[in-house]
Amino acid sequence: MSKSLARVTAALADAGLDVTILEMSEGTRTAEDAARAAACQIDQIAKSIIFRRVETGELVLFITAGGNQVDPKRAEALTQGTLARADAETIRTVTGFAIGGVSPIGHLTPLRAWFDPRLLAFDHIYAAAGTPRHIFGIAPVTLLRLSGAQEAAFTL
């Protein structure tokens, strides 16, 4: 088991959750891939989108429904700073996850995070489990709590 997958598994267990991690042979790098593999709607995929605050270098996390995109202006208003895409190396160093497998939980360094209300429309959603081939299913209210995110409107 990879270190990234082990961290996500431990975060779920530490929260007292009995969640099955699913390995998808076809991969889950994109929301479309994950939805196809999980046989669910694209908006049931919780994407972890990470930006860097230009002024401070701080990484911030937006957990959004798979079919939604982060609105840069709304995101900047929430973070009170100018945002730029974080590079893959910085994301891996700070979170411990490679792009395509960034989980909303189990980060090496906790990030300020915001949660797309669209995800709350479902009873069950799926999120990356630390690798481009692993996902886990969870109730969105539980993921909101575990991630420490704030519910906010930040999508286009």
pLDDT tens by residue, 125-151: 999 999 999 999 999 999 999 999 999
Q: Which residue matches tokens 């995101």?
A: 75
pLDDT of res. 34: 95
pLDDT of res. 123: 98
Tens-digit pLDDT profile for residues 28-42: 989 999 999 999 999
Mean pLDDT, residues 60-83 taken together: 98
Average pLDDT score over the chain: 97
Domains of the chain: 3-151 (3.90.960.10)
- Cα 40 to Cα 45: distance, rounded to the nearest angstrom: 8
Going by pLDDT thresholds of 50, 70 and 90, the confidence category of residue 155 is very high
User: Could you count the other beta carbons within 10 Å of the beta carbon of residue 84?
Assistant: 11
Going by pLDDT thresholds of 50, 70 and 90, the confidence category of residue 27 is confident
- pLDDT of residue 26 exceeding 90: no
Token digits of residue 115: 């949660």
For residue 126, which phi and psi values (nearest 5 degrees)?
-125, 145
- Cα 125 to Cα 136: distance, rounded to the nearest angstrom: 8
